[in-house]
Amino acid sequence: MKIAVGQFAVTPHWQKNALTCVEMMAKAAKQGADLLVLPEALLAREDSDPDLSVKSAQTLDGEYIRILREESRKNALTTLLTVHVPTTSGRAANTLLALKCGKIIARYEKLHLYDAFSVQESRCVDAGETVPPLIEVAGMKVGLMTCYDLRFPELALSLALAGAEVLALPAAWVRGPHKEHHWATLLAARALDTTCYLAAAGECGNKNIGHSRIVDPFGITIAAAAEEPEMIFAEISSQRVAQVRERLPVLKNRRFAPPSLL
C-alpha cells in the first residue's frame, strides 16, 4: 500500500480549506497513493478564536463535505480527515470521516477530548461513545484514531487486537514545552505497543506543530515532515507487519485482557 500524509495550516475560511483538501487529494491520487491522511478539524481555525471550529460546524450533507466527496469520485483513493459536525445548539462532535469513491465509508466521533494543558475541548465538543471502526484499504486493515487518542494505549491496542495493521491519526497537536518530543515518543510507542504502522497527520501553523510522520511497526520513522505545509509518502506492506510480529509477538504474549474502553 502507498500512504500519503498531508499537512497544512487551516485558515478561518472553510472554502479555502476545502480547496486545499481537494488539491492534496488530487496530488495524492496522481502519485498513486491508496490512502491519504489529512489533519484534524479542517473546517476553519482562527488563532484568536478557539471556538471557530465549532462555530463553523457543518452537517455531513453540507457544502464542505460535498466538495470533498466530489473530488473523491475521481479515483479510488481513501481519504481520512476530521471536521466538526453539529450536535446541539452551540456544540459539535469532532468527527473523523473516511471518504472513497464519493461516499462516506466510515465515521468516528472522537472519544478522548483534549481537556489538558489548559485547553478544554469538552467545553463545546461532545465526546463519542463508540470505539472507532476498521476499514480496508488496498488489502490492509486500517484503524482510526484522532489526535489526543494517541495518549491512550488501550484504544490503539483494541484496534490492533481487532486486526488493524495500520493506525491512522488526523491531529492538530498543540505547541508547548516538550510537545514535539511527546508527539514523536507516543507515535513510536503506539507502533511498538501494537506492531502496527502509524500514519499521523499534524496540522501546522502558529498554534500546532505539524511534524506529520509515518512510523513502521518497529517504531522507526520512515517518512516525516517539519513545520511547513507538506505531503509525505511511504510504501507499506502486510509482509512487514507479519515479519515484525513474528520477531516481536507482543500481541500474542499479552497476559491481560484489554481494559474496557467505555
Report the C-alpha gap between 203 and 141 in whole angstroms: 24
Q: Which of 144, 125, 130 is nearest to 86 (CA)?
A: 125
CA distance 100 to 162: 22
Closest CA to 22 of 77, 68, 81: 68
Q: What angle do CA 58, 123, 86 make, to 5 degrees?
A: 15
Q: How far apart are CA 41 and CA 83, in angstroms?
A: 5
Nearest Cα to 11, choosing from 36, 48, 43, 59?
Answer: 43
Neighbours of 50 (CB within 10 A): 15
The residue whose grid cell reads 476499514 is 135
Q: How far is C-alpha 204 from the chain's CA centre?
A: 14
Distance CA 124, CA 234 (A): 36
Catalytic positions are: 40, 110, 147
Give start and end residues of each alpha helix (H) in 75-178: 153-161
Rounded Cα gap, residues 116 and 240, in angstroms:
35
Q: Is 259 helix (H, G, I), strand (E, B) or coil?
A: coil
- Interior CA angle at 101 toward 133 and 40, to 5°? 50
Single-letter residue type at 223: A
